[in-house]
Structure 1
Amino acid sequence: MKSKARIKVAVLCPIQRDYLACETTKNREEYDFHYLDSEQITAGNVGETFDIIAYIEFCKEYIEQHDIHVVLATHDIPAIIQAILCQQFKHLRGPSIESVLHCLHKFYTRAYLDPSPIRYTYVDLENFHTYSNVKSLGFPSLIKPAISATSLFVSMLKSYAEFEEKAAVLKEEFSQFRYFNVFADEYIDRDKYPLCFHSIALVEEYIQSPYKVTMDGCVFNEQIIFWGLTDNIYFSSKPECFNACIYPSSLPEFIQENIRQSYSQIVHRLIDIGYDNQFVNVEFFVFEDGSLKVMEVNSRVFGQLRPIYVQCLEDGDEFAALIEICCGHRPKTPKANGLFGGNFYVNTFADDIAENLVNFEVADRHPKFVMNISPGDDVCGSKRNQGFRLAYINLIATTVEELYYQADELKRKFLKCPEASPWK
């Protein structure tokens, strides 16, 4: 009997976790994965020389030559490329270009998706006259590149002098977002989205909320499927520095229901402009009375949480579900199994060579570690508000307290300079 032909899946700009996720996914034998690599893409960061148009043309040729059935985008930049390819090849499933733009460009997230936005404005880093917008917003506030796919350049501002300092840094670094300007010139309506053609930084009021969460879900044939709600924990000693994502959320059910309703409202706005057949996560500020404010919206899976969802949810593998969605099959709605999971960040504010900061042999002995560095890498954490992210630790336990205990023990064994890392 002739064997069933495997489904050809092209993975766009794969990063380390994509290879593992694809090779260990459910029903692996049914898929023929094609990894369309780009050395310029690393977990949300984009090299200055990344030629997005050349990469798109390469993908188009590859799809035609290899009869690709599915394209898979698991992080921010590939989501744009997936949308473009879906416009070109009608058999491919994915979101529209316009809908992905509303997620990636944070000004348009606020302007179009956010039902009740916090106070915000923008500055054009090439136009000093727009800087006065910041004074009317006031301080404290936050500044970040409007099109950044990473929190690397997010900074808190306490004064106009600090704004000028951070704006100057952003202006110098904006060359790494050149890919977006090239993309916009080719695919975005200049009259409808004029800020896409300028070096825009978003400035927002600084929000202090007792809780922050991420709501994960996906859209299949314009229907929303909820996935998971995680508590986002920051260090109290370093409030801009991320500590961990904990699943499931410990918030009261009435607040969780508010989050689901707000998530649905936002995602339906995306669906109205063509968002479909992809995951989407929304980060929220949450207040004691259950009210919410949107932090940001992302057109992708929460990839680093895959090990947590796989172990804490029945049918919880986001990557497997994304493949099913792109193949035209509705994934099962995941169900919690009672376990707790934590994705812990290992950060440092030190500057040194990686091998002087961490014990790599500890990570080698513990598969719970996901490394972001190699021994010879230069680490520069002192100039980043969030520090330098050395690794993640993925842990499972029967209580939240046990998660924190395990994380603390492993971090102390792993770090050679624990005094340079936040702990509380």
Structure 2
Amino acid sequence: MKNIQVMLPTLRDREGLKSIDNDYQIHWMEDKDFNYPYPGAAFDLVKYTEQCSLYIEENHIDGIVYTHDLANLVAGVLCDRHDIPGPSLESMFLTNHKYYSRRKEPSSICSDYIDLDTGEWGELEPFYPCYIKPPTLTMTLHQYRVDSQEEMDSIVKKLRVELPPLLQLYTRFFERYVDLDKYPLATKNIMVVEELVEDAEQHCIEGWFDSLGNPHFWAESDEIYYPGDRNSIDVYATPSLLPPDVLDNIKEYALQRVKNHKINRGFWNVEIWRKGDWITATEVNGRSASVWEDLYKGTYNISLYKAMAYLSCGEDENCLQESFKKNDGSRVGGQFHVVTYGEGKSEELLNLSHEIEAADIEIMTPAGSEIAQSRTSGTWLARFNLFGDSFAEIYQRAEKIREKLLLQPEKSPNTNHIKQPPS
């Protein structure tokens, strides 16, 4: 029986790997101070990485499963150090650090950085409107649209206090493991500044590299946002409704982006903006989109977690067979989000008691949670997956569900419109 080590496991990881736990020995590398997606203040990523390394020295490990952005950094160190199939640390660093990731895009959008200590821009003259985000972190935390210097000064003043304690988890890790001569900003408190992209369609291509470095595609999806300038997610929908020739072009573009980031093993996904013939990467991720496990299962009858486990142990053929199980594409799926711009107790904004038919709802802000806005796009209160024969049909069902969930709908994106998927 092969042994699989799971880095910083989440509840989703435990659920997703249930189907294979009779075929593999699963080693759950937990840490009492780690919570996903927001680690506890006492969590030490370097200490955790070294503990996992010692565990490998004392136990036989065949593969490593990693499903989020901190876990893939740890996996990069361990795969390099112990010659285990998987990603390199440099490739995972490049996908995690948004400034250096942008530098790997030869025709990318205009971008720079702001030194939080001084407020000075790195190379360019300030430009507005723009979009700023931390070089690391997840879930769009502390990401903002900025329209003026006055607004920027106010946000930077706030971030000088709030951000360094969050970033130090990463900067200490980078100081220990990353080549700082090559990547000197890795340990600096900065914000990444990007040209604001508006009115663009967004898509996601997910794929993987086998043990010989051959690329394979897993799924293609559309990321649909609410109208307006707040960039609030409405639904992740799969399969993509793009015409085959356009989709082929985007898939080839995505593959080149991951190669630019030195990824040649494991799962990856690339989020892409598109306006007509113009395309550019929104973000390159050196891991699977594990949050879509149930979306993929319900739409295609395939398991991303099974595929990740197979691939981690070098079982390319099993991974291919899982991918080949995909149905004929006649079924559609959507992961819908319940978003608020409000603040207060979760139970004041979200109906936590209402039983809603035909929706497996993931509550992201349980009772007692204090909602405080820390990003332009709002806070995700909940999300749920729906499946059917057409997007129009599942959209209508989703709108009815969100109407029942939202206690203060006036503080949320407009849910009284029937949107059409991108054409």
Q: What is the TM-score normalised by the length of structure 2?
A: 0.91
Q: Percentage identity across aligned positions?
A: 26
Residues 16-415 of structure 1: matches in 2 within 5 Å? 16-23=11-18, 25=19, 27-90=20-83, 92-112=84-104, 114-128=105-119, 130-131=120-121, 133=123, 136-172=125-161, 173-221=163-211, 222-237=213-228, 239-270=230-261, 273=262, 275-288=263-276, 290-314=277-301, 316-330=302-316, 331-332=319-320, 333-334=323-324, 335-337=326-328, 338-362=330-354, 368-381=360-373, 384-415=375-406
Partner of 2:8: 13
2:154 maps to amino acid: E
Tell me if the contact between 2:3 and 2:27 (Cα under 8 Å) persists in the aligned partners: yes
Aligned with 1:236: secondary structure?
coil
Q: CA deviation at 1:245?
A: 0.4
Contact 1:124–1:131 (8 Å) recurs in 2: yes
* Superimposed CA distance per residue, residues 125-172 of structure 1 (whole angstroms, 9 cap, x where no aligned partner): 1234x33756x2511111111123331111111111111122222222
Q: Structure 1 pair 107/384, CA: closer, same or farther in 2 (3 Å)?
A: closer
| Alpha-carbon distance in 1 for matches of 2:34, 2:160 | 21
Aligned-pair distance for 1:66?
A: 3.9
Q: CA deviation at 1:252?
A: 1.9
Q: 1:356 offset after TM fit, Å?
A: 2.8
Structure 1 residues without counterparts, runs of 5 or longer: 1-5
Contact 1:142–1:157 (8 Å) recurs in 2:
yes
RMSD: 2.0
Q: Conserved in 2, the CA contact under 8 Å of 1:117 and 1:294?
A: yes
Preserved CA contact (<8 Å) 1:15 1:41: no
Taking the aligned partners of 2:348 and 2:99, their CA distance within structure 1 comes to 40
Give the superposition deviation at 1:277.
2.9
Q: Secondary structure at the match of 1:131?
A: coil
Q: In structure 2, what residue type is equivalent to 1:16?
A: L
Deviation at 1:238, TM superposition (A): 5.3
In structure 1, what is the equivalent of residue 421 of structure 2?
Answer: none
Query: 1:357/1:234 Cα in 2 relative to 1: closer, same or farther (>3 Å)?
Result: same
Question: Would the aligned equivalents of 1:46 and 1:176 in 2 still touch at CA under 8 Å?
Answer: no
Corresponding letter in the other structure for 1:236: P
Amino acid at match of 2:386: L
- Give the residue type in structure 2 aligned to 1:142: Y
| Cα distance, 1:88–1:107 mapped onto 2, change above 3 Å | same
Q: Structure 1 counterpart of 2:287, which letter? A: R
Runs of 4+ in 1 over 4 A off after TM superposition: 363-367
Q: Displacement, 1:309?
A: 1.0
Letter in 2 for 1:161: E
Gapped runs of 5+ residues in structure 2? 418-423
Kindly state the Cα deviation for residue 40 of structure 1 after the two structures are TM-superposed: 4.2
The one-letter code of the counterpart of 1:352 is: G
What's the CA shift string for 1:158-213, capped at 9, x where partnerless?
A: 11111112222222222111111111111111111111121121101101233111
Deviations 1:201-239 (A, max 9, x none): 110110123311111111212111111111111111454
- C-alpha deviation, 1:301, in angstroms: 0.9
TM-score normalised to structure 1 length: 0.90
- Alignment size in residue pairs: 407
C-alpha deviation, 1:328, in angstroms: 0.5
